[in-house]
Structure 1
Amino acid sequence: MSEADPRELQSLQYYLNEYGQQAEIFARQLEMLEQQRVESIAAIETLQALGSAQDGTVLLPLGGGVSVRATIPDPEHVLVAIGADVTVGRDNAGAVSYLEDRARELEASEKKISEMIENIRAQMNDIAARLDAAYRGQQQVPGR
């Protein structure tokens, strides 16, 4: 095998690094989407529990593993953040429906991003194989 062009090796290494950075960015986006989806599912469960609470008393998580018992005076009317710092009033069932739709959209976005990550990793594997072959070829060139 002939000696590999150093510029080609440098270019391949550059692309490998760029794809690696892209994969990291998409992986972080995937984590954020997953967290939002889990929060939506938790909110759905909480809204459904509100409807079944006989005296309107629920455990309200404050964070850090701390909760308080709270009485919800009107569990059928809730406020839903719909984005851009806009909150609208919805009935309990409407809020559940909104959150279920949102969870489905987030799941679809997760699938798309996962596919993009797989494609990037496949390209990274191809580039890594080309680099490996080029470096092995350099080692086999007589006089080195």
Structure 2
Amino acid sequence: MSEEHAQALLQQMQSLESYLNDLLQREETVMRLLQEATNAVESMKVLTGNSEYETLVPVGLGVYVKAKINPDQKMIVNIGAGASVEQNKESAINYMESRIKELEMVLQQLASQRQEVSMKLEQGQHEMNKLIQSNRSSPQ
């Protein structure tokens, strides 16, 4: 095999490694969003009954204000593109649960892509090893 082929293979493997790193970062981001959405749903489900709940609301730079939450209070839900809507608790929970399902699907797709790229990288490494072996065994 030629040196040109080895160079092309090396460049392809570097591109695949870069793409794999990008996929890993995306997976991390989606997992954080998934955890945040799950926590939000759990927090909303806890708000029940007739009593108010006291909480701390961040106002910036480590400063908090005590606030009371009424369980029947409407919630403001970010629906994307800078838009938010006011919803009752059940609607907000349903919306967040649908977002969780979407995030889980995205996570599965990313995992599938990551696995595919990893297999291609492994094949490239195997081919590179064969090239190295053939160059060592051939007389100069």
Q: How does 1:4-83 map to 2 (within 5 A)?
A: 4-52=1-49, 54-60=50-56, 62=58, 69-73=66-70, 75-83=72-80
The answer to whether the Cα contact below 8 Å between 1:80 and 1:88 also exists between their aligned partners in 2 is: yes
User: Which sections of structure 1, spanning at least 5 residues, go unmatched?
Assistant: none
Residue in 2 that maps onto 1:134:
131
CA distance 1:67–1:42, change in 2 (3 Å): farther
Percentage of pairs with the same residue? 19
Q: Does the residue aligned with 2:47 lie in a helix, a strand or coil?
A: helix
CA distance 1:120–1:131, change in 2 (3 Å): same
| Cα displacement (A) at 1:59 | 3.3
User: Which sections of structure 2, spanning at least 5 residues, go unmatched?
Assistant: none
Divergent runs of 4+, >3 A: 58-69, 73-76
Q: Which amino acid aligns with 1:56?
A: E
The number of equivalent residue pairs is 139
Q: Does the residue aligned with 2:76 lie in a helix, a strand or coil?
A: strand
Normalising by structure 2, report the TM-score. Answer: 0.89
CA distance 1:8–1:88, change in 2 (3 Å): same
The answer to whether the Cα contact below 8 Å between 2:30 and 2:103 also exists between their aligned partners in 1 is: yes
Q: Which structure is richer in relative contact order (CA contacts within 8 A, separation 6 or more)? A: 1
Please point out which of 100, 113, 122 is paired with 1:116.
113
Normalising by structure 1, report the TM-score. Answer: 0.87
Pairwise CA RMSD? 2.2
| Cα displacement (A) at 1:57 | 1.6
